[in-house]
C-alpha cells in the first residue's frame, strides 16, 4: 500500500495525486480533441476546472447526505468520503450550464468529453487501489484460501495477492491501507480501472467514425452505467443504504445512466444533423479581417 506520497512536512495523499494526474491527462486530451473539432481550446480548460470544483463538491455532498451516519460540516473539508454519482451529477449540471451560456453545441461538446470521463474515473480508481481507502469488493469467501494462492505477499509492504488454483479468481488483502483489511477481497478498484481504460480505448478509437453528434457520449453513458451496475454487486456496501429491489444508490444511478444513454442515442440518430456538423466537426471559424490601414 502507498496511502501517502509524502507524509512530512506536508501530507500528500496518493488518491489526490492520482486525481490530479487524471485531470491533467483529461485537459491534455480534451484540448487536442477541441482543436480537432474546431472548438476554442479555452473551453477545455474551463470544462476541466468545472469538473474539478463541482465534481469534488458534489461527491462530498452526496456522501454526507446519503451515506454518512451523521452530517458534520467539518467532514466537508476532510479528504475521506466521496460518492461517485454525486460528483458526476453536479459536474454535468455545471458543465451543461456553461455550454448553454456560451451557446456551444451540447452534443458535440459532450462527445469530445466522453473519452476523458473514462480516463478520469480510471485514474481515480488507481488512487483508491494504491491508498487502500476501503473501496473494496466483498470477501472472496469459500472461493479461495491462502493455501490455494499462487502469489502471497507479492509486495514487501502493501497488498497481498492471491490467484487461486481451482478458480480463475483474483483476490487481494490490504493490510496497510488507509482502511486496512486482512481479508482476501475482490479488488474492485483494479477491475474498474481496467474496464474504464478499455472504455477509453474504445471511445477514442471510434470517435472519428461517429457521424451523428451525441452518439459517442451515449455510448459512454451506456457502457459506464452497465459497468458500474455490475461491479456494485461485488462491492462492500460500507454502510450505504439499500433503497428498493435490494439496490443501492449507485445501482440506481447506473441504471439511469444506461436509460439516458439509450434515449440520447435514439434522439441523436433520428435528429437531423445540423448543417456543417457531421462527425462532430464544427465549421472552421472565419479568419479575422485585417483592419484597414490608416491613410498617411
pLDDT at 264: 96
**Is it the case that residue 114 has pLDDT exceeding 90?**
yes
- The band of 259, judged by pLDDT with boundaries at 50, 70 and 90, is very high
**Is it the case that residue 150 has pLDDT exceeding 80?**
no
What average pLDDT score do residues 219-224 get? 97
**Is it the case that residue 174 has pLDDT exceeding 80?**
yes
- How is 140-170 classified by DSSP, letter by letter? -GGG--GGG-S-SS-SSSS-EEEE-SSS--E
pLDDT at 237: 79
pLDDT at 104: 95
- Average pLDDT of the chain? 84
Cβ proximity of 112 and 30 under 8 Å: yes
Q: What is the spatial distance between Cα 278 and Cα 82, in angstroms, rounded to a whole number? A: 38
**Helix, coil or strand: residue 274:** coil
pLDDT at 97: 96
Q: What is the spatial distance between Cα 187 and Cα 119, in angstroms, rounded to a whole number? A: 19
pLDDT at 274: 84
H or E, element range at 94: helix 84-101
pLDDT at 173: 84
**Helix, coil or strand: residue 236:** coil
pLDDT at 84: 66
Q: What is the spatial distance between Cα 154 and Cα 160, in angstroms, rounded to a whole number? A: 6
What average pLDDT score do residues 267-273 get? 93
pLDDT at 87: 77
Task: State the CB neighbour count (10 A cutoff) for residue 240.
Answer: 17
- Greater pLDDT, 170 or 280: 280
- The band of 245, judged by pLDDT with boundaries at 50, 70 and 90, is confident
What average pLDDT score do residues 218-240 get? 90
- The band of 167, judged by pLDDT with boundaries at 50, 70 and 90, is low
CA atoms within 13 A on the CB side of 85: 19
Give the list of residues 6+ apart from residue 149 with CB closer than 8 angstroms, or none: 161, 162, 163, 164
What average pLDDT score do residues 38-54 get? 94
Q: What is the spatial distance between Cα 86 and Cα 108, in angstroms, rounded to a whole number? A: 24
Q: Percent of the chain, pLDDT > 70? A: 78
pLDDT at 196: 97
Compute CA 209 distance to the chain's CA centroid, rounded to the nearest angstrom: 24
Task: State the CB neighbour count (10 A cutoff) for residue 97.
Answer: 12
| Residue in this structure with the C-alpha cell 484540448, named with its chain if needed | 31
Burial (CB count within 10 angstroms: exposed 0-12, middle 13-18, buried 19+), residue 66: middle
pLDDT at 81: 59
Report the predicted TM-score, pTM, of the whole model to 2 decimal places: 0.86
pLDDT at 149: 67
Q: What is the spatial distance between Cα 76 and Cα 59, in angstroms, rounded to a whole number? A: 10
- Greater pLDDT, 261 or 70: 261
| Residue in this structure with the C-alpha cell 451496475, named with its chain if needed | 229
pLDDT at 227: 96
What average pLDDT score do residues 27-50 get? 96
pLDDT at 102: 95
Q: What is the spatial distance between Cα 95 and Cα 49, in angstroms, rounded to a whole number? A: 10
H or E, element range at 181: strand 181-185
Q: Could you tell me the residue ranges of all domains in the chain?
A: 4-138+186-280, 139-185
What average pLDDT score do residues 264-276 get? 92
What average pLDDT score do residues 27-32 get? 97
pLDDT at 225: 95
Amino acid at each position: 500500500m502507498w496511502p501517502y506520497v509524502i507524509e512530512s512536512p506536508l501530507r500528500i495523499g496518493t488518491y489526490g495525486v492520482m486525481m490530479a494526474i487524471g485531470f491533467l491527462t483529461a485537459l491534455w486530451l480534451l484540448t487536442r480533441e477541441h482543436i480537432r473539432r474546431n472548438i476554442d481550446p479555452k473551453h477545455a480548460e474551463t470544462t476541466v476546472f468545472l469538473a474539478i470544483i463541482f465534481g469534488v463538491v458534489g461527491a462530498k455532498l452526496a456522501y454526507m447526505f446519503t451515506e454518512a451516519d451523521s452530517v458534520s460540516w467539518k467532514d466537508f473539508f476532510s479528504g475521506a468520503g466521496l460518492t461517485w454519482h454525486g460528483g458526476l451529477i453536479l459536474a454535468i449540471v455545471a458543465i451543461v450550464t456553461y455550454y448553454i451560456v456560451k451557446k456551444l453545441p451540447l452534443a458535440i461538446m459532450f462527445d469530445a468529453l466522453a473519452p476523458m470521463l473514462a480516463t478520469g474515473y480510471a485514474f481515480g480508481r488507481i488512487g483508491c487501489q494504491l491508498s487502500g481507502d476501503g473501496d473494496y469488493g466483498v470477501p472472496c469467501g469459500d472461493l479461495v484460501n491462502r493455501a490455494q494462492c499462487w502469489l502471497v505477499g507479492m509486495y514487501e509492504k502493501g497488498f497481498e495477492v492471491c490467484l487461486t488454483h481451482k478458480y480463475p479468481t483474483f483476490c487481494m488483502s490490504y493490510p496497510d491501507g488507509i482502511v486496512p483489511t486482512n481479508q482476501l477481497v475482490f479488488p474492485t478498484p483494479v477491475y474498474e480501472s481496467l474496464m474504464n481504460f478499455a472504455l477509453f480505448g474504445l471511445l477514442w478509437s471510434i470517435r472519428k467514425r461517429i457521424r451523428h453528434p451525441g452518439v459517442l457520449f451515449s455510448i459512454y453513458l451506456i457502457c459506464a452505467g452497465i459497468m458500474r451496475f455490475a461491479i456494485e454487486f461485488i462491492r462492500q456496501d460500507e454502510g450505504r443504504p439499500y433503497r428498493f429491489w435490494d439496490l443501492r444508490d449507485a445501482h440506481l444511478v447506473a441504471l439511469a445512466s444506461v436509460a439516458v444513454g439509450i434515449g440520447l442515442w435514439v434522439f441523436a440518430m433520428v435528429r437531423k444533423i445540423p448543417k456543417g456538423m457531421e462527425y462532430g466537426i464544427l465549421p472552421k471559424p472565419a479568419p479575422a479581417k485585417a483592419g484597414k490601414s490608416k491613410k498617411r
